[in-house]
Amino acid sequence: MKKRSPQEQLNHLRILNKRGRLALFVGAGISFGCGLPTWTELIELLTDRAYPTARPEIRLALSKMAPIPRTRLLRKKLKQEYNVAVANCLYSRPYQLSRMIHRIAAAGIERICTYNFDDLLEEALQMAEVEFVSIKAGQALNNNWGGTVVFHASFENRVGNPQGWPIPAH
């Protein structure tokens, strides 16, 4: 098989994207680069909200838990306040959309997958005036949709959703 030049590889990716056969997977690094907390920091912030007056031995026991079980415990403890607590923890400090997230938004990628709890991709797509729809776990996808689709974690987003998270001043 012939090795493709970088330009040939880029052209091949463009063709795959146009055919709906390309998806970009992004993780927490894209949000961290904008100033949001890391996964570990988010879990600590949520722990502080769920157990604000916990004794030291309780805090120590929580800190020894693996991240996924600990997050499940926090979700159970915070109940219906969990999504609001996540949003408040994520946006508790100023952030700025990074050059990378702006480039992703402007790249014309039609399928973006993330399990990040934030909606910075949606904010960047909106700023770039890109038509998009966010699909949460369990929601049906309209295969006739011609714009960008962001497959997202199961949280309400802030962008264009008055019932979702409040958009913080930043």
d(CA 63, CA 65): 6
Predicted local confidence at residue 155, as pLDDT: 52
**Cα→Cα distances 132→51, 82, 88, 98, 148, Å:** 38, 26, 25, 19, 4
Q: Residue 59: phi, psi to the nearest 5?
A: -60, -40
Q: What is the pLDDT of residues 49-90, one digit of tens each?
A: 999 999 999 989 999 999 989 999 999 999 999 988 998 999
Does residue 42 contact residue 89 with C-beta atoms inside 8 Å? Answer: yes
CA 102 to the chain's CA centroid:
14
DSSP label at residue 37: P
Residues of the chain predicted below pLDDT 70: 153-170
In 3D space, the residue among 107, 103, 127, 93 whose CA is nearest the CA of residue 18 turns out to be 107
